[in-house]
Amino acid sequence: MKISSSYLFDSALRNLQSSQTDVARSREQLASGKNLVRASDDTSKLRSIETLESYLKKLDSFDSNLSYLKDRLNLEEGVLGSASDILMRIKELSIQAANDTMSTTDLDIIATEARNLREELFSIANTRDVEGNYVFSGSRTESPAYSRDQLTDSVSYEGDNRQSRIAINETRDLEKNRDGQSIFQSISRNQSQYRISGIEGEGNFNFRAGSLTIEFFVEPRASSDSVVSSIQRALDQSGVAGKAEAVIVDGVTTYSIGVTGQHSELNDGVLVTQDNSETNALSVTKLSDQSSSEGFFSVLGDFVVGLESGDRGAINRAISEITVLQEDMAIVLGDVGSAINNLDRQSDINSDTRLRVDQLLSGEKDLDYAQAVTKFNQEMVRLEATQASFAKVAQLSLFDFI
């Protein structure tokens, strides 16, 4: 087989170029610290790197959402904690005001404090975040959550109930906002209507309201209005939130009482009371039950009005209603705290996921210097050997043997 000089030189040149290319690629890898210097080096590994980097960007977005939600929930937890403390104080005031030893002046002092505390709760309901958005307006973040009628002092909700959600990982999202009605919740105020029978002539009469015995005196030949006044006075003195009225049908007068609050269950009277051994037990018949929804600020407003007017029935009713408001607020506060704990756990999960992805990406993208240096040295030896062998072969000539 004949090998021409040109073939020999071409083959040697190709080997030299190949060795130089390998050395140059290894040198670039060592300089950049990356496995892939250019996209053409390994397309399959490039796709893997792009997938992992894309997932890291998603994690960045999830972490940003987590940070936003945590700041938002921490704000809510702070202001709702203050609201819970205020409700606790109002409840203490209602219990204090229900004491029979309280004078009109004492009730006025309590009413002043209760009104100021209601103002603080109104301010909390219209809390803004650092961006100036109203926190409890639902999706209407540019408008106050609650407004107040200056004439009637009634408070109404101006937001909506729309809720938006924000993703914290690929399969889970959480509520981004809360509406005021789900936090400053209404209560159900039940009113029962009763008919009392047996008021004839004069004397002492009684019926029971819960654990209380309501007793009143009817004077001789008293008019129906006078009887109603006696019943109403007995209700007020006993602290029962009720309203007595007389109804005349076909010339027959009957008496009815509408009651709300903690003593709203009326029963027949007793034959002997603590104050009188001679008394008339009245028969009580329930006519109807009605339920109405009372707003958060309406309940507090009724309490203040009851204090200012000395209505002990309204004051006693406020004790149970404010207790419900406080319990509802505690549930909401617990829900916010639970959401914060969920965010903390999800943040830990995302951090662990990021660590694993970073490790995978490093394995695909970053250079193993020990292996690269070894490879570089091997390629240098190969290049030097190729150059040396070519130099030897290039010096051979047939003319030396002629």
pLDDT digits (tens, 9 = 90+) for 288-313: 888 888 999 999 999 999 999 888 88
Average pLDDT over residues 136-159: 90
Q: Which of 294, 310, 332 is the last residue of a domain?
A: 294
Number of independent structural domains in the chain? 2
Handedness of CA 49, 55, 61, 64 (dihedral sign): negative
Decide which of 201 and 229 is more confident: 229
Both 324 and 182 in a single domain? yes
- Least-confidence region, from 9-13, 131-135, 174-178: 9-13
Average pLDDT over residues 263-282: 82
Question: Is residue 20 predicted with pLDDT exceeding 90?
Answer: no
Q: Which of 354, 362, 361 is nearest to 169 (CA)?
A: 354
pLDDT at residue number 130: 86
Distances (CA, A) of 271 to 194, 230, 266: 20, 19, 16
For residue 295 the two structure tokens come to: 């707003």
CB count in 10 Å sphere of residue 6: 8
Both 235 and 128 in a single domain? no
- The C-alpha atoms of residue 25 and residue 11 are separated, in whole angstroms, by 21
- The C-alpha atoms of residue 367 and residue 25 are separated, in whole angstroms, by 13
Both 177 and 193 in a single domain? no
pLDDT at residue number 237: 85
Q: Which of 353, 38, 301 is nearest to 184 (CA)?
A: 301
Question: Is residue 355 predicted with pLDDT exceeding 80?
Answer: yes
pLDDT at residue number 52: 78
Question: Mean pLDDT in the chain?
Answer: 83
Decide which of 392 and 164 is more confident: 164
Q: Answer yes or no: is 305 within a domain.
A: no
Beta pairing partners, 216: 205
Domain range holding 243? 188-294
Percent of the chain with pLDDT over 90: 33
pLDDT at residue number 277: 73
Both 164 and 204 in a single domain? no
What's the pTM? 0.73
